[in-house]
Amino acid sequence: QKEVEQNSGPLSVPEGAIASLNCTYSDRGSQSFFWYRQYSGKSPELIMSIYSNGDKEDGRFTAQLNKASQYVSLLIRDSQPSDSATYLCAVLPGAGSYQLTFGKGTKLSVIP
């Protein structure tokens, strides 16, 4: 059974701080990793994808991947109240599979 684990939170950070969201996965053969943001009552939207070990930066967002530790994280710098949402970690298994496995999500609250 492929599993993706996230701390459900809520994670509260003050405005302007760095929010750190963590995710672990069980399938060592997983190839692709995604972070989705979901506002309450809305559908998930993709904000970051990462495929190789190391860091990937996009604006205020940095995704970090460590395949040896089966760990992926998302850092949000200069957090804004508009970042308050649930963040879903999703993992795509190895080649030939297109079925994402989602974690339960971490609810982030950015306090003004």
Partner 1 sequence: SAVISQKPSRDICQRGTSLTIQCQVDSQVTMMFWYRQQPGQSLTLIATANQGSEATYESGFVIDKFPISRPNLTFSTLTVSNMSPEDSSIYLCSAQVSGANVLTFGAGSRLTVL
Site residues, partner 1 (CB under 8 A): 32, 34, 42-46, 49, 51, 88, 90, 92, 98-105
Are 48 and 60 in contact, with CB atoms under 8 Å apart?
Answer: no
Min separation Cβ 17 and partner 1, Å: 25
Kindly state the DSSP code that residue 83 receives in the 8-state scheme: G
User: Is 107 strand, coil or helix?
Assistant: strand
Which lies closer to partner 1 via its Cβ, residue 51 or residue 111? 51
Pairing outcome for strands 106-111 and 11-14: parallel
User: Is 81 strand, coil or helix?
Assistant: helix
Are 90 and 103 in contact, with CB atoms under 8 Å apart?
Answer: yes
Min separation Cβ 29 and partner 1, Å: 16
Min separation Cβ 104 and partner 1, Å: 4
Which lies closer to partner 1 via its Cβ, residue 45 or residue 57? 45
Which lies closer to partner 1 via its Cβ, residue 85 or residue 92? 92
